[in-house]
Copies of this chain bind each other. A is one copy, B any other.
Amino acid sequence: MGLIDQMRAGDRRALARLVTIVENGGDDGRRALAKLYQYTGQAHIIGVTGPPGAGKSTLVNEIALELRRRDASVGILAVDPTSPFTGGAILGDRIRMQPLGHDRSIFVRSMASRGQLGGIARATGDVVKVLDAAGFNAIIVETIGAGQAEVEIAREAHTTVVVEVPGLGDDVQAIKAGILEIADVFVVNKADREDAQKTQRHLQAMLQLGGVPREQWDVPIVMTVATRGEGVAQAVDAIQSHLQHLKAGGYFGERERQRVEREFRMILQGLALGLVQERVGAAQREAMVAQIQTRRIDPYTAAERMLAEALGVGEAR
């Protein structure tokens, strides 16, 4: 029995090994993904993002437990795009996740960015596919912040939950402008703080300013105190309602089409580059780079020439 079959039969070690293979990328990863792809497309992919200190890990724990109470199995992927080199920050948070480890229907994995452009989004999408093929009903992808990487990750999610906390100053409003457009559900966590109502009103005002709801969905604002489990059921209600809305409104298929198209383009691009590089050879590539560095040729002309040579075309474009 192969690894994929073992994983689908519920073997956790096979799952963990496949995640590692896929995360590492390369030919092995691609082969595994090609094989397990047929089993994907079943899970509800939920993105959870927000600033450091918003209590995301605790909230994700509680959401996972609530989903379990509703008989869903849950995969959690904690992604830290802010630590591209060492990649450690979020791992500390994971220690708090340990209690979940006893439940065999919950699987938790941390990932750090590899410092590669688009690398984290690629790897996250791939690991989500493994969890999807493994049969988890819901997959929660947790990320910090509101940068480009988070937005890319949000694009892969069906439902994106943005976590805010009371007491963030005006300074942070700048970031919210970007986050508004990826949020399907807002959660104001630590809602027992005194200015929680103010944060709620502020978010409401921002949503109203945003105009016509995207995909006809009115973004709900849920107040939670994750440390005490308060409001978590409402948050899960909102998350599940959103998925139903996407499906009922016909938006789900269109999102999937766009996602597949993007992903296919990325894969094609990687393969095409690999082919060109292989045909040209390392020595010639290095010589070309040296010429570009000394400004004897510009990189655009150099790339066209290399492409023409590798693919045996008179004019590359």
Contact = CB atoms under 8 A, between A and B. Distances in A.
Contact of A34 (B269, B300, B307): B300
Interface string A141-185: 000111111111000000000000000010110110110011000
A229 interface: no
Number of copies: 2
A261 B38 CA distance: 37
Contacts of A292: 260, 264
A208 to B, nearest CB: 16
B293 A90 contact: no
A103 interface: no
Interface string A184-226: 0000000000000000000000000000000000000000000
A92 to B, nearest CB: 8
Contacts of A88: 177
Contacts of A306: 268
A257 to B, nearest CB: 6
Interface in A43-84: 51-53, 80-84
A262 to B, nearest CB: 8
Contacts of A84: 148, 151, 178
A172 B275 contact: no
A228 interface: no
A265 B120 CA distance: 18
